[in-house]
Amino acid sequence: MNHHMPPTPAAAALHSAKTPKDREGFRQAMSWLHTWAGLVLGWLLFAIFLTGTLSFFKNEFNLWMRPETHGLPAADAHVAPKALAALLRQVPDVTQWIMRMPDERDPAVTLLWRDTGNGRFETLRMNPQTGDAITTRDTMGGDFFYRFHFELRTAQKGRWTLQGRWVVGAATLMMFIALLTGIVTHRRFFKDFFTFRPNKGGQRAWLDAHNVSGVLVLPFYLMITFSGLMIFHTLYMPSGIATAYRGDKGIDSNAYFADLQGEKPERRVRRSPGDKVDPLPPIALEPIVDAASARWHGGHIGALQARRDAEGRVVVEVTRHEGDRLQYRPPRLLFDGITGQWLEQADPTSPAVTTYGVLYGLHLARFAGPGMRWALFGFGLLGSLMIATGMVLWTVKRSARQQTQSQRKGTATTAPRAPFGERLVGAINIATLGGLPLACGVYLASNRLLPIATTHRADTELAWFFSAWGLALLWGLWCAVVRPQRGGWSVPMAAGALVWTTLPVLNALTTQAHLGVTLPTGEWMWAGMDLSFLATGALMGWLAWRLRPGRVPHGRKMAPTGAQHAPAPTHAQEHAHPHHGGHHGDHAGNAAMAPSKAMSGG
Amino acid sequence: MKTARADWRYRLAITSRTLAAAAGGYALAAGFTAALTLGLAPFMPRVEAVLTATMLAWLAYALAAAWAFYARTAWGAWGGTLLPALALGAYATTPQWTQWMGTAA
């Protein structure tokens, strides 16, 4: 009946293993692997993909969530020495600092610094003309989406981030396997690409949506997944390093990192717990900045940093702006911090390292201008859509099959409940695909609603995010597992619509960076956020409307979620042979499509 | 359509294959990375050897996972991943073996 993902094909394939003639072949086994690799970590993948997609606009979220930075003046060319002086006024015994220069996406100077202790970097934001510190509300901003995306961060200074990276790595590998097996399963790319039959409704529409979103930007998915694995290869696959960098004193990973980044090993900072580091001496930044600009023929400087290298020498590193090229990291120039003398350039150019750098750069997309950024954002949404439709397809197929069976048995009026596993999948579908966009909106709303003086404010915002997500899970469990009923999808969608459309209003009531100010002055970066929130809210509202409980009158299955099994058995055949066209079919088809678009919430 | 019965033997076989794909596949990929790094090291800077091998390793992992579910039996899934992993690991650690033999003699 269906060339793609036949129901539990491996059941037969594996069971009749002793008689090879009966085996369903390589493609069938891959199809089975595709289904299960996708299902097992699919929700996590969806969350990783969606928050990663939002991270393409990390800087813009950072700005919106710190409205205090609105209306900063344009950058002054000589801000670096002023910012450093301002830092030293606050922290005289600074031992290491990194200064991010203002650019078109982030007007403030951002300074990360550490004192003589071994603690984490602290952050200071500064006016790009005066160097004066700007006090902003305590928030993780867009960095939360970014951090959650690759280490499932649950608190501002979370503890389980390394474990989180491992889990994300496992999910990424699953995605990689699902993509490759999907390609095998899927011989007929072009045919599938031009095949979209939402009017047929039910399973067919879901399958088509999954195929179209899967095939459309397949190279993007392969790139983003593969580069994701490679970015953390020193964590996930260190055996090559262990082989090539083995010395008398064990594995010299420091030398590997130096080679990887085109540095000399002795230039790298090494701080062990308990080390006492001397504060930095006064540094004359102006001549260093001038020398770097001259060396790059006026190229845009992205960041400056000062530290002591492994030999105790004070080094100032000037990094070229990330928007200047595809390959990550950008080239860096090293200067002696005391004499201001140029030491060396760090910029590896060998083939494999360059390939790796390009993969890394593609994943981060810091090279991208606004048009490219929106395109990548769209690809990310399509990827989320592909994952979501795959998840829903699993329950749709099963419930359709179950209905056919119960109909055949003549038990149409007292249809049995779906098995627990299916109902659970349905519940988590609601919680993830509907609940995550809602939780993202709640996180943004908390940024405006929480009093500025709240203690641990940044973590409280995260608590709002996870509470909203948790509530969505409880709702999903209630609707799909405990009391199977309709309407499981529409409530989180409607709540999400409400939250997202309210965001610009909350913004206007609580800050000076609202649409009434940003639209007339043409500040599109600020206005764009509010407008995107409105669009997201409208989209979720539309979905909630399409999925509302009363919408499908004749017992026709609406949004197949595993939640609505009860009274639809007489129409089960329609899913297999959708013979009727016209308004009714169109209707149901669109409704069935709808929840998949929920992840456009961004 | 007929639904295949998911009895305990079937579940056990699937669990076994899943473990073979995950753990055996990882062992194979890690051995592959180490062995290829060692093989490439004489011809290029060592950072190049590591990165080339590591980038290819993910394909080896994916192929191992595919094999684990295509193999005729669950035992085949384990054998097909662990035996090559052992061979690659043995090759990758030859410098240490020879060094150890040298010091022992």
pLDDT score for A31? 85
Question: Tens of pLDDT along B74-98?
Answer: 999 999 999 999 999 999 999 888 8
Contact A255, A270 (CB under 8 A): no
Which among B82, B14, B2 is positioned nearest to A17, based on CA atoms? B14
pLDDT score for A563? 40
Contact (CB<8Å) B47/A259: yes
CB atoms near residue B63 (< 10 Å): 17
**3 state DSSP class of A398:** helix
Contact A21, A2 (CB under 8 A): no
Contact A318, A292 (CB under 8 A): yes
Please check the confidence at residue B38 and state whether its pLDDT lies above 80: yes
For A325, A366, A525, B56, B59, the CA distances from A300, given in Å and listed in that order, are: 11, 14, 21, 35, 38
Which among B97, B87, B96, B79 is positioned nearest to B35, based on CA atoms? B87
HSE, side-chain direction, 13 A CA sphere, residue A375 = 10
Contact (CB<8Å) B47/A226: no
**Per-residue exposure over A296-305, b if at least 16 CB sit within 10 Å of its own CB, e if not:** beebebbbbb
Compute the nearest-CA separation of A178 from chain B (Å): 9
pLDDT score for A103? 92
pLDDT score for B105? 65
> How confident is the model over B30-58, as a mean pLDDT?
97
Tell me the C-alpha distance between A100 and A84, whole Å.
11
Question: Tens of pLDDT along A116-139?
Answer: 877 788 999 999 998 889 999 999
User: Cβ of A244 under 8 Å from any chain B Cβ?
Assistant: yes
Contact (CB<8Å) A351/B48: yes
- Which tokens in the block code for residue A463? 């608590």
Confidence of residue A344 (pLDDT cuts 50, 70, 90): very high
Tell me the C-alpha distance between A363 and A376, whole Å.
10
> How confident is the model over A372-394, as a mean pLDDT?
94
Confidence of residue A191 (pLDDT cuts 50, 70, 90): low
One-letter amino acid of A509: L
Confidence of residue A484 (pLDDT cuts 50, 70, 90): low
Q: How does strand A109-114 pair with strand A122-126?
A: antiparallel
User: Cβ of A237 under 8 Å from any chain B Cβ?
Assistant: yes
Compute the nearest-CA separation of B18 from chain A (Å): 10
CB atoms near residue A66 (< 10 Å): 22
Instruction: Name residues 8-27 of chain B within 8 A of A (Cβ).
Output: 9-10, 13-14, 17
- Stated pTM of the model: 0.86
Contact A444, A450 (CB under 8 A): no
Instruction: Name residues 393-412 of chain A within 8 A of B (Cβ).
Output: 401
Please check the confidence at residue A573 and state whether its pLDDT lies above 70: no
> How confident is the model over A207-232, as a mean pLDDT?
91
Please check the confidence at residue A18 and state whether its pLDDT lies above 50: no
Contact (CB<8Å) B50/A241: yes
Which among A209, A185, A562, A198 is positioned nearest to A401, based on CA atoms? A562
Contact A590, A198 (CB under 8 A): yes
Compute the nearest-CA separation of A20 from chain B (Å): 8
Tell me the C-alpha distance between B53 and B55, whole Å.
6
> How confident is the model over A233-240, as a mean pLDDT?
96
- Which tokens in the block code for residue A366? 């810091």
Distance of CA A266 to the CA centre of its chain: 35
Confidence of residue A530 (pLDDT cuts 50, 70, 90): very high
Give contacts of A30 with chain B, Cβ < 8 Å. Answer: 66, 69-70
pLDDT score for A192? 64
User: Cβ of B56 under 8 Å from any chain A Cβ?
Assistant: no
- Which tokens in the block code for residue B20? 């073979």
Contact A389, A596 (CB under 8 A): yes
Contact A574, A205 (CB under 8 A): no
Tell me the C-alpha distance between A593 and B69, whole Å.
32
Which among B11, B22, B60, B50 is positioned nearest to A259, based on CA atoms? B50
Q: How does strand A109-114 pair with strand A332-336?
A: unpaired
User: Cβ of B88 under 8 Å from any chain A Cβ?
Assistant: no
Q: Compute the mean pLDDT over every residue in chain A, rounded to the nearest whole number.
A: 84
ipTM of the complex: 0.91
Question: Tens of pLDDT along A252-265?
Answer: 999 999 999 999 98
> How confident is the model over A425-446, as a mean pLDDT?
95
Peptide bond into A329 cis (omega under 30): yes
Tell me the C-alpha distance between B25 and A391, whole Å.
25
User: Cβ of A226 under 8 Å from any chain B Cβ?
Assistant: yes
Please check the confidence at residue A575 and state whether its pLDDT lies above 70: no
Q: Which of B30, B47, B72 sits opposite A237 (nearest CB)?
A: B30
**3 state DSSP class of A428:** helix
Please check the confidence at residue A49 and state whether its pLDDT lies above 70: yes
For A182, A302, A553, B1, the CA distances from A33, given in Å and listed in that order, are: 9, 45, 38, 20
User: Cβ of B38 under 8 Å from any chain A Cβ?
Assistant: yes
The residue of B55, B78, B99 whose CB has the most chain A CBs within 10 angstroms, and thus the best one to mutate to test that interface, is B55
More confident call, A163 vs A415: A163
The residue of B1, B8, B26, B69 whose CB has the most chain A CBs within 10 angstroms, and thus the best one to mutate to test that interface, is B69
Q: Which of A8, A242, A356 sits opposite B34 (nearest CB)?
A: A242
- Which tokens in the block code for residue A391? 């998840």
Q: What is the DSSP string of B65-93?
A: HHHHHHSSSHHHHHHHHHHHHHHHHHHHT
Q: What is the DSSP string of A296-355?
A: TTTPPEEEEEEEE-TTS-EEEEEEE-GGG-SSSSPPEEEEETTT--EEEEE---SHHHHH
For A56, B7, B89, the CA distances from A381, given in Å and listed in that order, are: 11, 39, 41
Dihedral sign of CA atoms B24, B26, B32, B34 in order: negative
Which among A236, A101, A120, A113 is positioned nearest to A168, based on CA atoms? A236
Distance of CA A348 to the CA centre of its chain: 28
Give contacts of A1 with chain B, Cβ < 8 Å. Answer: 1
User: Cβ of B77 under 8 Å from any chain A Cβ?
Assistant: no
Instruction: Name residues 536-595 of chain A within 8 A of B (Cβ).
Output: none
Question: Tens of pLDDT along A52-100?
Answer: 999 999 999 999 999 999 999 988 888 999 999 999 998 899 999 999 9
Please check the confidence at residue A449 and state whether its pLDDT lies above 90: yes
Contact (CB<8Å) A353/B13: no
Radius of gyration of chain A (CA): 27
pLDDT score for A593? 34
Compute the nearest-CA separation of B39 from chain A (Å): 10
